[in-house]
Amino acid sequence: MSGYVGSELELFSEARNWKAYFSRVLAPYVRGQVLEVGGGIGSNTPYLATPAVRGWTSVEPDRSLARRIAERAARHELPFDWTVVSGTIAALDPAARFETILYIDVLEHIADDRSELSCAALHLGAGGNLVVLAPAHQFLFSPFDANIGHYRRYCRASLIALNPPGCRLGHCFMLDTAGFFASLANRVLLRASMPTAAQIALWDEVLVPISRILDRLTGYNLGKSVVAVWTRSSRTGV
């Protein structure tokens, strides 16, 4: 990863409507033993921990953030075992296999994203899902992106092109139509390097509910975030 220090994590941890929204959309693809790459402070995990999940492993390269996740795990905030690995995906046991692997606003922080997903695919069991949610549209790349260590933003084509070996693309769609226009305004007018708590609250409490409606109306073809879901072929024998 780049020199990422997680400076935005506390701000976005309060975006409860957004977390509930994207988690509901991703829920059909999240099951079994789950690997979350880049767990941050663990604020997304409880939203994604549905009854279909049996166990959870969070990988986090920043030691201080990994300790915070471990503290949450020690408080038994999830209804199943929550394992924390301090390091990157390379720190996992090579034999470890998961039914779901998640990258939630993480892949854009990784310089060699193609190699990262190739490595992740080796840990995906047959029929398992690799799910990526990432910021969309390179033309929206702003001082905020640079400030928090993003290498890039994605469009559908650039994300699909990362197709991990042994996997087939199942779905690719956009989320947060209203947020797209807010991000465009920031890129063109404000050029802020970090949103304020008030701006996060406005987006989460006003714009995200609007996006729930607009996303359906636009057929999930417009938004500030892009989602891709790949499934490991059962023919690989992995």
Q: Per residue of the chain (238 residues), what is the pLDDT tens digit?
A: 544 455 678 878 889 999 999 999 999 999 999 999 999 999 999 999 999 999 999 999 999 999 999 999 999 989 899 999 999 999 999 999 999 999 999 999 999 999 999 999 999 999 999 999 999 999 999 888 888 899 999 999 999 999 999 999 999 999 999 999 998 987 776 566 778 889 899 999 999 999 999 999 999 999 999 999 999 987 544 3
Q: Does 154 reside within a domain?
A: yes
- Look up the CATH number of the domain holding residue 142: 3.40.50.150
**Do 149 and 2 form a contact (C-beta atoms < 8 A)?**
yes
Q: What is the pLDDT of residue 231?
A: 98
Is 64 inside a domain boundary?
yes
Is the residue at 238 inside a domain?
A: no
Give CA–CA dist 150/47, Å, rounded.
24
**Looking at the domain assignment, is residue 2 inside a domain?**
no
Number of domains in the chain: 1
Give a yes or no: residue 129 inside a domain. yes
Inter-CA distances, 116 with 27, 62, 169, Å? 23, 17, 17
Distance set, CA 161 to CA 99, 172, 203, 234 (Å) = 22, 11, 30, 21
Q: CB-based contacts of 135: which residues, under 8 Å, 6+ apart?
A: 105, 108, 145, 150, 153, 154, 224, 225, 226
**Residue 19 resides in a domain:** yes
Give per-residue pLDDT as tens, 14-64.
Answer: 899 999 999 999 999 999 999 999 999 999 999 999 999 999 999 999 999
Is 68 inside any structural domain?
yes
Residue 4: inside a domain = no
| Residue 69 lies in domain | 9-233
Task: Please state whether beta strands 82-86 and 53-60 pair in parallel, antiparallel, or not at all (unpaired).
Answer: parallel
Alpha-carbon distance of 108 to 162, in angstroms, equals 12
Among the residues of 100-139, which ranges form H helices?
Answer: 113-121
C-alpha span between 163 and 94 (Å, rounded): 21
The chain-wide mean pLDDT, for the chain, equals 92
Tokens of 192: 């802020």
